[in-house]
Structure 1
Amino acid sequence: MIDVYKNRQPGMTSPAVAAEIIIPANGRELNYATRAVYVGSGGDLSMELLNGDVVTFKNLASGTLLPVRARRVRNSDTTASDLIGLR
């Protein structure tokens, strides 16, 4: 496979280059800060952003791509599932 962009540093508006499954947990940070979170099954999503703010996004639809820099996804107040952190 040829990747003509392999020598370029990705920016915040570039497509994601890696992903991880997110399992919500109040006391555990994600392995990597996200650039976006994909919501596979809709509901509410509570997270701690990089600056420490805690926010709950209500009634997200399945398939939502939320462009947030998150450090933690909290199981308190989170009903959405099948979450993927993109970076």
Structure 2
Amino acid sequence: MPGRYRNRAENLEGPAAHGFSVTPDDATALPEITRALYVGVDGDVSVEFVSGANALLAGVPGGTLLPIRVAKVLASGTTAEEIVGLV
């Protein structure tokens, strides 16, 4: 089915067009840089931003959409579950 907006360029302000399940890993980068992360189950999320900086996002409630561009979700420090990368 063709999309209504197929002739428009995607941008970071628009909605995500694709998603993938995230398995936290300290060594392996995600298949794509995200525009957001969805966290399904409460916990901490440790990330490596596209800039290379690392951060621990503590106490993220389940059902939260984090509008962040990350290259990795790190296993060390991540306790949240059912994380989805949105692009």
Under a length normalisation based on structure 1, what TM-score does the superposition of the two structures give? 0.97
RMSD: 0.8
2:82 is equivalent to residue 75 of structure 1: no
The AA in structure 1 aligned to 2:34 is T
2:66 is matched with 66
Runs of 5+ consecutive residues of structure 2 not aligned to the other structure: none
Distance in structure 1 (CA, Å) of the matches to 2:53 and 2:2: 40
- Give the aligned residue type for 2:49: L
Aligned length: 87
Query: How far apart are residue 10 of structure 1 and its match?
Result: 1.1
Amino acid at match of 1:68: I
Structure 1 segments of 4+ aligned residues over 6 angstroms from their partners = none
Q: Match of 1:8?
A: 8
Task: Name the stretch that deviates more: 36-45 or 1-10.
Answer: 1-10
Structure 1 unaligned runs (5+)? none
Match for residue 84 of structure 1?
Answer: 84
Residue 50 (structure 1) aligns with: 50
Q: Distance in 1 between matches of 2:75 and 2:26?
A: 6
TM-score by length of 2: 0.97
What is the distance in 2 between the residues matched to 1:82 and 1:49?
Answer: 19
Distance (Å, rounded) in 1 between the aligned partners of 2:4 and 2:17? 14
